[in-house]
Amino acid sequence: YHVFLSFCGEDTRRGFTDHLYQELSRSGIHAFRDSEGLEKGKNIEELFGVIERSEIFIPILSNNYAHSTWCLKEIEKIVRVVGEGENVRILPVFHKIEPKHVRHQTGPFGAAFKMHRKSRQVEVQTLNEWREALRKVADRSGYESEKMFDG
């Protein structure tokens, strides 16, 4: 795949992500989104394989993104691949959320991490790795959907 789209389905699948995917396809860009390419129930290792073979990553960071452990596992893997690879890029989109909430894990991102901590289903070390991955993504130049697109 040329492009890997990482997104929270409940926030953006039927709107922003679908439109972006369609525009990429119309432009001849082969993009991956979780609704295709992998069957439901497949394991994360298969998804990681797709990430390792992708060239450009577009995480669409939205209000519920950090509530999803699946999204957080994806973003951690993406940051690792971008850090290790050559000719790979990450272009974050902040969809109806301010970059500072992602960078500092405040607002909806802070609430998500508080929920993960309380649940005790995720190790503290893993939470810290996810936080660091989000900081690295938020420190990159990105796009704020509210400012650039029709939302």
At the fourth CATH level, which superfamily is domain 3-148?
Toll/interleukin-1 receptor homology (TIR) domain (3.40.50.10140)
Residue range 124-144: average pLDDT? 95
| pLDDT tier, 42 (very low <50, low <70, confident <90, very high otherwise) | low
Task: State yes or no: pLDDT of 39 exceeds 80.
Answer: no
Percent of the chain with pLDDT over 90: 73
Around 130, how many Cα atoms within 13 Å sit in the side-chain half-sphere? 24
**Residue 64 per-residue DSSP state:** T
Active-site residue 46, yes or no? no
Active-site residue, selected from the candidate residues 52, 74, 76, 146? 74
CA 60, 136, 65, 129 torsion-angle sign: positive
Q: How far apart are CA 88 and CA 82, in angstroms?
A: 6
For residue 142, give the nearest of 83, 89, 98, 93 by alpha carbon. Answer: 93
Residue 46 above 90 pLDDT?
Answer: no
Task: Provide the β-strand partners of residue 89.
Answer: 56
Residue 36: predicted pLDDT = 47
Please give the average per-residue pLDDT across 19-46, as a whole number: 80
